[in-house]
Structures are given as C-alpha cells and as structure tokens.
Amino acid sequence: SYVLTQPPSVSVAPGQTARITCGGNNIGSKSVHWYQQKPGQAPVLVVYDDSDRPSGIPERFSGSNSGNTATLTISRVEAGDEADYYCQVWDTSDHRLFGGGTKLTVL
Amino acid sequence: QVQLVQSGAEVKKPGASVKVSCKASGYTFTGYYMHWVRQAPGQGLEWLGWINPHSGGTNYAQKFQGRVTLTRDTSISTAYMELNRLTSDDTAVYYCARDHGISNAMDVWGQGTTVTVS
C-alpha cells in the first residue's frame, strides 16, 4: 500500500522560511493537499492540489510537488504558524491517505 | 457560513458501539461527500471512509471494513458514523469533514467528538 513519509519535526526562526516535506513513490503524479492543526483544534486546509490556496489562507503558504517529494513552504514564518502539518493524497479505490504529520516549531 | 457541528463526547465500554452525528449547515448537504477522520491521543490523522449524502453510497478504509457504518438523514442535513465492537484502541477524536468537491481534499471540518473507550 502507498505510504506518505513526513519528518516528525521542523524548526525555524521567526521571519525565516519553513519547508515541510512529504515523501512518496512518484508522488509527483498525485495531487497533494496540506492541513494545519493547532493544539486542541480541528485541521484546516491550507493548500490543495499541490499549490492552490483556499480563500483566507495567506500567500505565505505555498506548495510544490515533483518526483518523490511534495513540499509545503511557509515564508516569513510567524509564531502563530506553530502547529502540526499533514499531507494527504487520494489513494486507490477512492480512499484518502494522510502522512504521519510534522510538528513545526517556531524558535 | 458553512459549518459542521458534531455531537458531544462519549464514554463507552469495550465491546459497545458508538454513533456520532455531524450536522451540516450553510451549503447543500447532498452536493458534497462527507468524510470521517479520527485522531488517537498524540497521534496523526486516520481516514475512516466517506459517504455520498445524495445516493447514500459509502466507501470505507479496509482497516474499518465491517466495523464502521456511515449513514445520513437528508431531511435534517446530518451525517452519522457508527463504530462497533469498540476497544481501547478506538479512543480518539472523531471528525467529520466535507469533501472539497473541486479536489479530493477536505475543506470544512467539524469540531471533533471525543470517544473514550474504558
């Protein structure tokens, strides 16, 4: 079965750029979606179809996807961006699959 | 505004069943698939399945096949998730989430329902 691999944690200083990866076999051929989840809250969709943003999501959030790695990039990181981030793809038989999640720490 | 409101927390004994509701408002309930996702304490997100509110058709993750049932009542714009034969491993927050429609993402989430099996 398909597996999505995310680093458990990423740390970045305020104002810098955070990059969170999501690895999978030929993931570039799939559409990847990204969710932000803050403690005690439901997830929020921040990027869909690799690089599109829902309305209300800041332009600081962007995505890319090629080869075996999809990447969520957060520019000019703020303290409020500290959260868990999950990637998600469509899997065979119209199922959905999540990565294990990455905890973003703002130093 | 588009909103999903879930039922309250549940405490169940091992072997029992739980049924969680998800009431939709602010959009056409039958126009979007509804997903169910759970999150065990300190763990990641796990997809359980989806229901097509228009037809009632369902699709379940293999892990939960035979133990989970998704239903809906279109008259009150509410989706339901029932999980049987509960064990302590089913202790989690259960979310309903609307399918994006444009992509296969989930664009609106309920607030979550905590199910404790003890």
* The B18-25 sheet, strands edge to edge: B3-6, B18-25, B78-83, B68-73
**Which residue in the set B45, B95, B103 is minimally distant from A49, CB to CB?**
B103
**Residues B44, A95: C-beta atoms closer than 8 Å:** no
Q: Do A98 and B104 touch (CB under 8 A)?
A: no
Give the whole-angstrom CA distance, residue B60 versus residue B55: 15
Torsion, CA B102, CA B46, CA B17, CA B88, rounded to 10: -170
| Any B CB within 8 A of A55 CB | no
Q: Is the pLDDT of residue B110 over 90?
A: yes
Q: Chain A window 17-36: which residues touch B at a Cβ cutoff of 8 Å?
A: 31, 33, 35
pLDDT in tens, A10-58: 999 999 999 999 999 999 999 999 999 999 999 999 999 999 999 999 9
Q: pLDDT at position B16, please?
A: 98
Q: What is the pLDDT of residue B49?
A: 98
Q: What is the mean pLDDT of chain A?
A: 97
Question: Chain A residues with CB inside 8 Å of B59's CB?
Answer: 93-95
In this prediction, residue A1 carries a pLDDT of 87
Quick: pLDDT tens for B65-101: 999 999 999 999 999 999 999 999 999 999 999 999 9
Contact A101 B105 (CB under 8 A): no
Q: Tell the residue number behind the tokens 């714009």, with chain if given.
A: B77
Q: B47 falls in which pLDDT band (50, 70, 90)?
A: very high
- Are residues A101 and B111, on separate chains, in Cβ contact within 8 Å? no
User: How many whole angstroms separate alpha carbon A99 and alpha carbon A7?
Assistant: 10
* Percentage with pLDDT > 70 across chain A: 100
